Amino acid sequence: MTNTYSTNRAAVTINNFYAYAANLKDRRVLVLGGGARAYREILRLVDAGCILTIVASEACAEIDRLAVTHASRAVIVPLSAQAYLEQAYSGQGDSAPRFDMAFLLCDCRQENQIVATRMQQDGVPTYFLHQPELSDFVPASQLKRGHLKIAVSTDGICQPMEQAIARRIEELFVHDFDHYSLFLSAVEERLEAFKQSDGENWNELNRRLEREDFYLAISRKNFEEALRIVDNHIDGLRSGRPDDNYETGLVEEIEEDIMRPRNPSKGATK
């Protein structure tokens, strides 16, 4: 029987990317491309607070409308990649644009490569559409409710799979997302107030919130209990009450669970 999932591992080596959340507020980002793929990424970048330069000889109507409604944060340059580079980098010194990131989302690989060469010279982290092996980073598909974000990544190998898994997660937790998001907003309000009034104990508060009781309250979706735990720790720190019940076992247990290999045939007879 043929294994349809078998692959030639020597063909292409994809980077094993590290997943993290980045603050892109006011970061200057270059986006090359004006199609549907570029539009979806531009929406997310605008939501993240980026300042965008969109280079596209032909931009879709959605991007044109977005550039009008977000004129202070998104500018369309209606040029090809080569023409843009010749125009933008014809001067010297401070006249040349400086970017923090580049998303090369043009369907033409040659156009992407032309811009990539310049970005690499400037040390700008770059994402190549459909070429994760050449990328410095890859965007993930995500679900977002306020500060709560769930990202799904295949290291850039298969975005449709990312979208399918993200949609499945949303279907499973559709009734829980709003509760988690509201709880997170309540926790944020308490933590921010405490940090402003008692910054010296900020690390200690976060240490205490790593205890198992807080984790278990959230895992049971008992948000009222979880908020009481937060309030109790804040009151204890403000009154100078010591933390006699601190436990480190939860952190160790989570770390062990992350490193534990998964058995895809779970439930099968050994």
Closest by CA to 89, choosing from 59, 121, 134, 57, is 121
Q: What is the pLDDT of residue 270?
A: 40
Q: What is the pLDDT of residue 135?
A: 96
* Dihedral pair phi/psi, residue 176, rounded to 5°: -100, -25
Closest by CA to 42, choosing from 31, 57, 58, is 31
Q: Are 44 and 31 in contact (CB under 8 A)?
A: no
Q: What is the pLDDT of residue 11?
A: 54
Distance from C-alpha of 194 to C-alpha of 182, rounded to nearest angstrom? 19
Q: What is the pLDDT of residue 268?
A: 45
pLDDT digits (tens, 9 = 90+) for 56-115: 999 999 999 999 999 999 999 999 999 999 999 886 556 789 999 999 999 999 999 999
Q: Say which amino acid occupies 204.
A: E
Return the beta strands (E) in 22-79 as ranges: 28-32, 51-55, 74-77
- Counting other chains too, the contacts that 111-116 makes at CB distance below 8 Å and 24 or more residues apart are 111/32, 111/80, 111/81, 112/32, 112/81, 114/81, 114/82, 114/85, 115/30, 115/32, 115/55, 115/81, 115/84, 115/85
The list of the chain residues with pLDDT below 50 reads 1-7, 9-10, 246-251, 265-270
Q: What is the pTM of this model?
A: 0.81
For residue 117, what are its two tokens?
């060469």
pLDDT digits (tens, 9 = 90+) for 44-61: 999 999 999 999 999 999
